[in-house]
Amino acid sequence: MTTDTKKPEEPRSMSTATPTRAPHQDLPGAHTDGGGRVGGGLFDPKQLLKSFPDAVRKLDPRVMVKSPVMFVVLVGSVVTTVLAVKDPGDWFGWAIAGWLWLTTIFANLAEAVAEGRGKAQADTLRKAKTDTVARRLNGGTEESVPGTELRIGDLVVCEAGDVIPGDGDVVEGVASVDESAITGESAPVIRESGGDRSAVTGGTKVLSDRIVIKITTKPGETFIDRMINLVEGAARQKTPNEIALNILLASLTIVFLLAVVTLQPFAVYAGAEQSMIVLAALLVCLIPTTIGALLSAIGIAGMDRLVQRNVLAMSGRAVEAAGDVSTLLLDKTGTITLGNRQAAEFVPVRGTTAAELADAAQLSSLADETPEGRSIVVLAKEKYGLRERHQGELVGAEWIAFTAQTRMSGVDLVENGSARKVRKGATGSVVAWVTENGGTVSEDAQELTGAISQAGGTPLLVAAMDDKGARVLGVIHLKDVVKEGMRERFDELRRMGIKTVMITGDNPLTAKAIADEAGVDDFLAEATPEDKMALIKREQAGGKL
């Protein structure tokens, strides 16, 4: 998403789609070509055609007068057109009038394209909102209705995989919810009825279980609606260099206007009086018309080159300011990291082989549809060569799906005539399961979970109960994976004299681990929006851009 900021002291740009799939790449409008570049760009013919009516509307003299050079061209266009109409046989007059109108329209079209970018992004958000279908409860039965028809007090049902259709509170059930589209945090959060963890936001995704949500916002006041208003309310700003150049061009226009006005008396005195069409054409040739017409196009060209490289510049000023940036503040999730915690390593306890742990981890994760669960299955396949199995292959197996209440997943099955149970999940849940089944947790398992936590990762225990009793087999190391090549990019920025700071809502241990792996110069952990703004102001107060 991109808009032009209204605050000139805060030029910004932000990363969009990358060759590695981002967590929200499936949203409407997030398309790239095969090489990871954004398709279309700002000079997309469809965008030009859509912006043409706006370019024509900008011919209003009250708008054109803001650019003295182009206002003079507009006046010349009108004068030559009137004279050409009076003398229809004068092909020279028609040619001059045509070229002047073409010049004026071209300048306005460049400006209209810049302003049309924000409108296009607002349309994308609006489409995402209108395409959401809600399962509304009506007298105990469910009915499918567009998300835009929901009203305050409506009850809607959301299950695993559903997008929450509107802002509200959970009144029944508990579920894990992916809020990365709103907060940018990689870890799913638990939302349950009652207490201070019941609020949900439209546009987020339910990852597990089933919840009933009571809508608490009016149509037009949801989070997505506020985003649409923010995008549509932004206006393209002229850069400082563009403003200074406009002043220079206005001065030159006045000089050449006076020069052309004084030519006619001399021409009359010499007996070679010139027509107004010739004088208008001469004036447009003398004044810096090309520069005036191309000012907006030049700014858009810079933004277009960035768009083709998956960066959205929020204003022409941001493009100019990028050359003077000395501090780069970066969000962690989806920018430095892939955006979802993924399984990075299987660490077995003493007496258990890595292959045995990988097999149990894969089995216990087949019923886990969360991104973390799927990554465990993939890691077992890619690193340990285990064929990816499916639930239907194991006859008689009883699958234990991951839920927000149990925080575990697993399977109960019979192998070689003996019963076997496998569980994987949060440390506390698995320890409780092992203890309830008469087993004990070894000290090295506790040491491994502590080491992973200290390193900023998330440990998941894998346990089994068979003829050897209930026991912990090992630990799965989950971590927010840093995108490939980030350290090299930060090294290059450092050589350019740019300091990099990572900002995240994660705890300090996790933030430090990611910062060390990525190679940033500094980081800010557990950051609230107020903390982020305070950091920006501190850097600016120190003379940094």
Q: Higher model confidence: residue 393 or residue 56?
A: 56
**Sheet harboring 174-178: ordered strands across?**
189-192, 174-178, 205-206
Which of 422, 429, 444 lies closest to 366, judged by CA? 422
Strand partners, 189: 177
CA distances, 267 to each of 90, 302, 375 (Å): 21, 45, 83
State the amino acid at position 384 in one-letter form: Y
**Any alpha helices (H) in 437-483, and if so which ranges?**
443-454
From CA 170, how far away is CA 212, in angstroms rounded?
A: 6
pLDDT band at 36 (very low <50, low <70, confident <90, very high): very low
37 — pLDDT class (breaks 50, 70, 90): very low
The pLDDT value recorded for residue 38 is 41
Cβ atoms of residues 335 and 520 within 8 Å: no
- Is the pLDDT reported for residue 110 higher than 80? no
Give residue 8's pLDDT: 36
Structure tokens at 59: 């011919």
Question: In whole angstroms, what is the distance from residue 50 CA to residue 123 CA?
Answer: 13
Q: Which amino acid is at 305?
A: R
Reduced 3-state DSSP string for 331-390: EHHHHHEEEEEEEEEEEECCCCCHHHHHHHHHHHHCCCCCHHHHHHHHHHHHHHCCCCCC
Global confidence as pTM? 0.47
Look at the block and give the residue holding tokens 């209209």: 112
| pLDDT of the residue at 198 | 83
Please indicate whether residue 331 is annotated as part of the active site.
Answer: yes
- Please give the average per-residue pLDDT across 136-143, as a whole number: 84
Query: Shortest CA distance to 490 belongs to which of 522, 452, 467?
Result: 522
> What's the CA gap between 378 and 212, in Å, rounded?
32
Mean pLDDT lowest among 7-16, 133-142, 152-161, 501-510 = 7-16
Q: What pLDDT is recorded for position 279?
A: 84
Q: Is pLDDT of 486 > 60? A: yes
pLDDT beyond 50 at 330: yes
| E-state strands within 209-334 | 210-215, 311-313, 327-331
> 3-state class of 20 per DSSP?
coil
Q: Which of 4, 154, 209, 331 is catalytic?
A: 331
The residue to which tokens 């019963």 are assigned: 419
Residues 230, 2 contacting (CB under 8 angstroms): no
Provide the pLDDT confidence category of residue 392 given band limits of 50, 70 and 90. Answer: low
**234-249 pLDDT per residue, tens:** 555 667 777 788 788 8
Q: What integer best gives the mean pLDDT of the chain?
A: 78
